[in-house]
């Protein structure tokens, strides 16, 4: 936190529609200049995954997809477009769970090739073109964050962290929230083990998912209908580092539900 003990989340307005090949770092800097916003040392730039995927060309048109026999079989189980299922399977390491609800809208929960467990492998049709385009997750969200971070740092001379966020559901809880799927300049986990609490007791199992916490808070300003894909977090107490969002994925050896 800053000297006042405050944490601020500041929406960066004026980000135009993102297209393949666009430099997100440059777009953010230009938007900041128009808004007369100056970066401070330690600011965290939180970017919605959708615009990262668009900039990196991770958009697929379903009219170009020929579903496999397996995709057709799965699509019948979950009442989804077989072409969409084919795209999902292409991003999938393993199917975790699938079923068809009474509403006729089935669920397909998978582990992605990047190790995340998500509905539909993160493949999404919202906020794309309104047609048959769908977005896929970035191939390497940590790298995506690193590219943006280096560009902004080079131009501002400030230490900047970057988080790529995505909106996900959660087992055993209703509603969606945002998590960090990529980060740079910030340790995804803040290991507080060995420190003492307010009573002087030594912490033995306290690892805070700092990157997720920041992504979630920024998500309050990033609602899908708000067209605000970039939020600046200021005053957050975090551990600086290269960043590895994989730290947030539980080791299978410690996962009681696999």
Question: Domain 8-58+138-249 classified CATH 2.40.50.140?
Answer: no
The answer on pLDDT for 169 being more than 70 is yes
- Mean pLDDT, the chain, as a whole number? 90
* 196 contacts 204 by C-beta, under 8 angstroms: no
Q: What is the pLDDT of residue 131?
A: 78
The answer on pLDDT for 193 being more than 70 is no
Q: What is the pLDDT of residue 151?
A: 98
Q: Which of 124-128, 146-150, 154-158 has the lowest mean pLDDT?
A: 124-128
Do 8-58+138-249 and 60-134 fold alike per CATH? no
Cα gap 247→146, rounded to integer Å: 16
pLDDT tens across 79-132, in order? 999 999 999 999 999 999 988 765 567 889 999 999 999 999 999 887 666 678
Residue carrying structure tokens 């809208």 = 105
The C-alpha R_g of the chain, in whole angstroms, comes to 19
Residue boundaries of the structural domains of the chain: 8-58+138-249, 60-134
Residue carrying structure tokens 């803040």 = 190
β-strand partners of 116? none
Q: What is the pLDDT of residue 20?
A: 96
CATH of domain 60-134: 3.90.1660.10
pLDDT tens across 33-60, in order? 999 999 999 999 999 999 999 999 999 9
Q: Which of 50-59, 187-196, 198-207, 231-240 has the lowest mean pLDDT?
A: 198-207
Q: What is the pLDDT of residue 53?
A: 97
């Amino acid at each position: 936190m800053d000297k006042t003990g405050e944490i601020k989340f500041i929406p960066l307005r004026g980000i135009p529609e993102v297209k393949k090949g666009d430099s997100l770092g440059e777009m953010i800097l230009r938007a900041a200049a128009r808004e007369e916003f100056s970066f401070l040392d330690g600011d965290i730039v939180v970017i919605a995954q959708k615009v990262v995927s668009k900039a990196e060309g991770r958009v697929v048109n379903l009219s170009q997809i020929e579903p496999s026999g397996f995709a057709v079989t799965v699509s019948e189980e979950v009442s989804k477009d077989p072409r969409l299922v084919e795209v999902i399977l292409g991003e999938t390491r393993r199917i975790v769970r699938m079923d068809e609800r009474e509403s006729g809208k089935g669920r397909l929960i998978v582990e992605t090739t990047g190790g995340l467990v998500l509905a539909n492998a993160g493949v999404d049709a919202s906020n794309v073109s309104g047609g048959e385009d769908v977005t896929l997750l970035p191939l390497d969200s940590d790298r995506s964050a690193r590219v943006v971070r280096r560009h902004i740092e080079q131009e501002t001379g400030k230490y900047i962290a970057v988080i790529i966020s995505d909106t996900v559901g959660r087992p055993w809880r209703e509603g969606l929230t945002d998590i960090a799927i990529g980060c740079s300049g910030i340790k995804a986990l803040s290991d507080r083990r060995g420190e003492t609490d307010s009573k002087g007791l030594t912490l033995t199992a306290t690892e805070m998912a700092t990157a997720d916490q920041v992504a979630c808070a920024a998500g309050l300003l990033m609602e899908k209908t708000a067209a605000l894909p970039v939020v600046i977090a200021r005053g957050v107490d975090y551990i600086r580092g290269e960043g590895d969002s994989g730290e947030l994925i539980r080791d299978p050896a410690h996962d009681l539900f696999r």
